[in-house]
């Protein structure tokens, strides 16, 4: 393993590459990365990098987003089969149909969508900035309906936080819906002093039991600033590695060990090494789609 790590480090330097990893990646992948973060943090980091090559350790829509933000860079995915079931739940045709049903509307696409879906949207958001973005859109687009796609649970949370009624699509994260209220109740009984942090992709009855609802980046900040010493984490279990690395004196418990995204775990050190050696898999987006898909992302970055 040490030999693989040394080869990755050498190639990264020789090729002026940067390795970006999502908080849900394997621990060893997070450890080799130049930057680890949530969707918003990774998008911002991609937009700032001076590297020639971005090796994106995440799922496909994330690498696409980096490619949209950095058209002059090579964006590589160590495993191009690492998709997102939620992103696959909605198509560009679905968005067109929603627009036809709601003609005086704007479409806000959660970043967990394909470039083709973003191309049919007006604004993007992440779980970390969705409340802020929707509030600003409501001010900018006065009198227009807001369609929120594809995550109905994030959309419901945003609607409750803002008081803004939105048209929601029936999408969801299969990993986060595995987390149930009984998991939280059981974990609380085992760790009565622990605070509960939950991702807004969780079901409303789970969020109702949380002390803090936040993106993975928000959870990290909350844990670092909190005086509490123990936390129950209602999200994909990969975030525990990051939390423990940043706060080794505190204790973090998964709400349930079932909350595993198999696609997030597809990336390995061996695949990262291969990606740097062979410069594959290269993420490409048709130019017209890319031009239109970048527009709602740029608007998000401006508003946030």
The answer, yes or no, to whether the previous bond of 150 is cis (omega within 30 of 0) is: yes
pLDDT at 44: 81
Distance (Å) of CA 10 to CA 119, 124, 286: 37, 36, 32
Rounded to the nearest integer, the mean pLDDT of the chain is: 96
Instruction: Say if residue 169's pLDDT is above 90.
Output: yes
Other CB atoms within 10 A of residue 187 CB:
20
DSSP label of 51? -
Other CB atoms within 10 A of residue 266 CB:
19
106-138: string of b/e by CB count within 10 Å (b at 16+)? bbbbbbbbbbbbbbbbbbbbbbbbbbbbbbbbb
Q: Are 216 and 23 spatial neighbours (Cβ–Cβ below 8 Å)?
A: yes
CATH number of 2-82+264-284: 3.40.50.10800
Q: Are 273 and 57 spatial neighbours (Cβ–Cβ below 8 Å)?
A: no
Q: Are 112 and 99 spatial neighbours (Cβ–Cβ below 8 Å)?
A: no
pLDDT at 95: 98
Other CB atoms within 10 A of residue 49 CB:
20
Q: What pTM did the predictor assign?
A: 0.94
Cα(71)–Cα(289) distance, integer angstroms:
12
- Tell me the chain's radius of gyration from C-alpha atoms: 19
**Residue 40 pLDDT level (bands cut at 50, 70, 90):** confident
**Residue 46 pLDDT level (bands cut at 50, 70, 90):** confident
Cα(150)–Cα(78) distance, integer angstroms:
26
CATH number of 176-254: 3.40.50.10800
pLDDT at 86: 98
CATH number of 86-173: 3.40.50.10800
Q: What is the mean pLDDT of residues 84-89?
A: 97
Q: What is the mean pLDDT of residues 12-37?
A: 97
Fold match, 86-173 / 176-254: yes
Q: Spell out the domain ranges in the chain.
A: 2-82+264-284, 86-173, 176-254
pLDDT at 47: 85
């Amino acid at each position: 393993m040490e030999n693989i790590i040394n080869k990755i480090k050498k190639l990264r330097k020789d090729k002026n590459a940067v390795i970006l990893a999502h908080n849900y990646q394997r621990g060893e992948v997070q450890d080799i990365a130049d930057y680890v973060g949530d969707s918003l943090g990774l998008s911002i980091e991609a937009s700032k990098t001076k590297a020639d090559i971005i090796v994106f350790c995440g799922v496909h829509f994330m690498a696409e987003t980096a490619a949209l933000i950095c058209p002059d860079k090579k964006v590589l995915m160590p495993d191009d089969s690492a998709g997102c079931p939620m992103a696959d739940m909605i198509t560009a045709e679905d968005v067109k149909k929603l627009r036809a049903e709601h003609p005086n509307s704007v479409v806000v696409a959660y970043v967990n969508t394909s470039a083709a879906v973003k191309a049919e949207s007006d604004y993007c958001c992440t779980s970390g900035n969705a409340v802020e973005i929707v509030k600003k859109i409501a001010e900018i687009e006065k009198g227009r309906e807001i369609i929120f796609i594809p995550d109905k649970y994030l959309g419901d949370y945003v609607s409750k936080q803002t008081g803004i009624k939105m048209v929601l699509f029936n999408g969801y994260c299969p990993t986060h819906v595995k987390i149930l209220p009984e998991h939280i109740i059981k974990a609380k009984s085992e760790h009565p002093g622990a605070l509960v942090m939950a991702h807004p992709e969780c079901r409303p009855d789970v969020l109702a039991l949380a002390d803090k609802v936040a993106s993975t980046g928000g959870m990290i900040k909350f844990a670092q600033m909190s005086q509490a010493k123990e936390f129950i984490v209602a999200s994909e279990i990969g975030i525990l590695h990051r939390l423990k690395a940043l706060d080794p004196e505190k204790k973090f418990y998964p709400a349930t060990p079932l909350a595993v995204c198999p696609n997030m775990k597809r990336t390995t050190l061996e695949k990262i090494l291969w990606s740097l050696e062979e410069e594959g898999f290269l993420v490409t987006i048709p130019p017209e789609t890319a031009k239109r898909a970048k527009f709602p992302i740029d608007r998000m970055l401006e508003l946030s």
